Structure 1
């Protein structure tokens, strides 16, 4: 168990010191809201409107705006003694404003190991070390068991947005999950979330294109999948569960069976590939 006072550095290198275990938590990141619900839901006071897991969360917790447009005064009214934020999801201006009245721990998760490290750190901060260590260990074992396949990775493009199309590069949790699941990211030579044209997608010569249901709901927008199928008539275009590729809380520990099955299904469609 963590002992207090407790001091931990966050992803910015800022050292956060807590005199006692926090009792009123606010999370500004969907993945981390799900994590706090898993570890200490009774202490979770506020979340964003995008914090949709567990299903009941938005009905039972105060909504403090969106990830990019947090209502700082609403957060202040909740009197939190710890706020969880993220470098990618939240703005620097929001974090600075919140730090005027509450401790803020900022994360930056770009890989499965980063996710395990973040889970353990949050567990320490909220005095839930045993449960957090158990979850992080389960996550690590699940991906270790996923392992490398005995066939060549499938070259894949994973799109997250349209008009323009946006994909994932290196240094992203999605890119890391793809590689661990046996999919070679066709845009791994780029960083973060680059815009790409239909021509660039075609020139990348993917063996599969993944269309997730978030952040853009591709399965509900037939036009974009139809355009891709027209441009890449020989390439499978697969709708996938975006949360299992990108959420880095408890859901990530449950992703490997889904990823393994997805890889096997695609592998079976190319029986002569080795």
Structure 2
């Protein structure tokens, strides 16, 4: 079976399930995990600008896509000639069934269950008794955050925080003055590559707020990525609470 993955998270799942570059024949340039295995897989463009002709030349049996990360018209064009599975993951429950369904599809039921149990363990720690309001920034110029219908929103909730923009959908833009009532500001390492200089800039505006760069993959990559982050969530929550 030959597979083309149009999504970084899905590519990582395939290799974590034990598939090889003989089976995974195409990936996007953003599919970076696991590094030592994806390097042998042909690149078919980015998640938003896939090379359809190159994908067809690979003659895949299955193409894995995602409702949010890929362009609808491009996916629909591929559907005319290939079997395309379109995934949609917004919650941890969605993620559970994603792994379970892919485990069934590729005859990797046991390893899928292993990862689901390991992911569940990541959230088994004492959560804050009082939920802090967290503004999670994903972009600059304009500044953008995340609404209630995103995977990041649900991760924030599941580790004991409250999304400051929970009353909005998708990826709202805002002005820095809008963050006055937030308790904590997280600057994600992706998709915008926030650095310490950005923390310093915001700290001048809000000297009394906790402002911290966080691992964007830990919050936005669904699939098996959460199983690879160790005690990241627990340590992050502990650090924030100690800073209050």
Name whichever of 237-246 and 226-235 sits farther off.
Answer: 226-235
Shift of 1:40: 3.6
- Pick aligned residue for 1:72 from 14, 35, 52: 52
- Tell me the secondary structure at the aligned position of residue 209 of structure 1: strand
1:259 is aligned to 2:217 = no
Instruction: Give ranges in structure 2 of 5+ residues lacking alignment.
Output: none
- Pick aligned residue for 1:226 from 200, 207, 224: 200
- Tell me the secondary structure at the aligned position of residue 248 of structure 1: coil
Map 1:1-274 onto structure 2 (within 5 A): 23-42=1-20, 43-143=23-123, 145-146=124-125, 149-202=127-180, 205-219=181-195, 222=197, 224-255=198-229, 257-270=231-244
Contact kept, 8 Å, 2:64 with 2:86, in 1: the verdict is yes
Contact kept, 8 Å, 1:211 with 1:218, in 2: the verdict is yes
Contact kept, 8 Å, 1:83 with 1:103, in 2: the verdict is yes
1:200-256 deviation digits (Å, cap 9, x = unpaired): 122xx1121111111110027x2x333321221111110111101111121112447
1:130-182 deviation digits (Å, cap 9, x = unpaired): 21122123222433x13x52521221110000000010110111111111111
Structure 2 partner of 1:18: none
Contact kept, 8 Å, 1:139 with 1:252, in 2: the verdict is yes
Shift of 1:128: 1.6
Contact kept, 8 Å, 1:28 with 1:84, in 2: the verdict is yes
Q: What is the aligned-residue RMSD (CA, Å)?
A: 1.5
Shift of 1:48: 0.1
Contact kept, 8 Å, 1:116 with 1:140, in 2: the verdict is no
Contact kept, 8 Å, 2:138 with 2:187, in 1: the verdict is yes
Shift of 1:58: 4.0
Name whichever of 67-76 and 133-142 sits farther off.
Answer: 133-142
Question: Given the two structures, how large is their TM-score scaled by the length of structure 1?
Answer: 0.84
Instruction: Give ranges in structure 1 of 5+ residues lacking alignment.
Output: 1-22
Q: How many aligned residue pairs are there?
A: 242
